[in-house]
Amino acid sequence: MTTITKRKMAYDKFTVLKSSAYPLPIENVDTDQIIPARFLKATERKGFGDNLFRDWRYNSDGSPKKDFVLNDSKYGGRILVGGKNFGSGSSREHAAWSVYDFGFRCVISSFFADIFKNNCLNVGVLPVQVSEEFSDKIFAAIEADPNTEIAVDLPSQKVSLPNGESELFQINTYKKENMLNGFDDIDYLQNMIPEIDSFAAKRPF
């Protein structure tokens, strides 16, 4: 177990989240769709939720596209369920910020792109990877009842449906501790600066 000393909370703690969810059963959702590049011009982290899925969510005149899931009033909640290979492409953390800023605290998918997954963990959004079978079950449950409450239990690493079906998910101990306590990596690294300095002194270039 990692010894963590003098660590400060950087974002909200995540323990158990019970919520309805928005379903987005499309594969290979890339970060250019999550937040298009023209909305990356801010120098502060705010307002990104307004442009989450901008071009899928709004027409070019700014009116909402009625058939897009985020505009459909029958859905709601703090969980986004995406298709396979969610978050591919650009490393822009703005994608994770926009997901968080919209109000999501958890994204569920049968497969995540690496950088997006890391970025989520670093901003306090829990990426939960489930099997394709379980992902299909979640989509089916939401289709049958948009108010389906999904329980994401981080301490026991379990995601469950109201009918009792559940699946365990993976997260490493270090990241789990961070999420449970609202700690971040920067804080961890600040606690080991002398060790880093002596390492740096030996680097040839």
Partner 1 sequence: MSNTLFDKVWDSHVVRQIEDGPDVFFIDRHFIHEVTSPVAFLGLESRGVGVKYPERTFATADHNTPTINQHLPVKDPLSANQLETLERNAAKYGIRHWGLGDENNGIVHVVGPEHGITLPGATIVCGDSHTSTHGAFGAIAFGIGTSEVEMVLSSQCIMQPKPKKMRININGELSFGVTPKDVALFIIAKLSTSGATGYFVEYAGDVFENMSMEGRMTVCNLSIEMGARGGMIAPDETTYSYIKGRTFAPKGDDWDIALAYWKTLKTDEGAVFDKEFNFDASEIEPMITYGTNPGMGIGISNNIPESKNIEGGKATYEKSLNYMGFSEGDAMKDKQIDYVFLGSCTNGRIEDFRAFASVIKGRKKAENVTAWLVPGSHIVEKQIREEGILNILEEAGFELRQPGCSACLAMNDDKVPAGKYAVSTSNRNFEGRQGPGSRTLLASPLMAAAAAVTGKVTDPRDLIDNNN
* Max CA separation in the chain (angstroms): 61
From the list 16-24, 80-88, 98-106, 159-167, the region that binds partner 1 by CB under 8 A is 80-88
Nearer to partner 1 (CB atom), residue 111 or residue 134: 111
3-state secondary structure of 173: helix
CA distance 190 to 90: 28
Which DSSP string do the residues of 83-96 spell out, in sequence order? -SSBTBS---THHH
Instruction: Please list every residue from 119 through 138 that binds partner 1, using CB under 8 A.
Output: 119, 122-123
From the list 16-24, 105-113, 139-147, 159-167, the region that binds partner 1 by CB under 8 A is 105-113
Min dist CB 157 to partner 1, Å, is 13
- For residue 4, the number of C-alpha atoms closer than 13 Å in the C-beta half-sphere is 20
Q: Is 152 exposed, middle or buried (0-12, 13-18, 19+ CB in 10 A)?
A: buried
Q: Does 201 bind partner 1 (CB under 8 A)?
A: no
Q: Does 6 bind partner 1 (CB under 8 A)?
A: no
Taking CB under 8 A as the criterion, the residue among 99, 115, 125, 142 binding partner 1 is 115
Query: Of 1, 5, 13, 43, which Cα lies nearest the Cα of 173?
Result: 1
Nearer to partner 1 (CB atom), residue 140 or residue 196: 196
Q: Does 140 bind partner 1 (CB under 8 A)?
A: no
95, 120 in Cβ contact below 8 A? no
Nearer to partner 1 (CB atom), residue 18 or residue 65: 65
φ/ψ (deg, to 5) at 27: -85, 160
Q: Does 45 bind partner 1 (CB under 8 A)?
A: yes
Binding site for partner 1 (CB under 8 A): 1-2, 25-28, 30, 32-33, 36-38, 40-45, 55, 60, 83-85, 88-94, 96, 111-115, 118-119, 122-123, 172-175, 184-186, 188-190, 192-193, 195-196, 199-200, 203-205
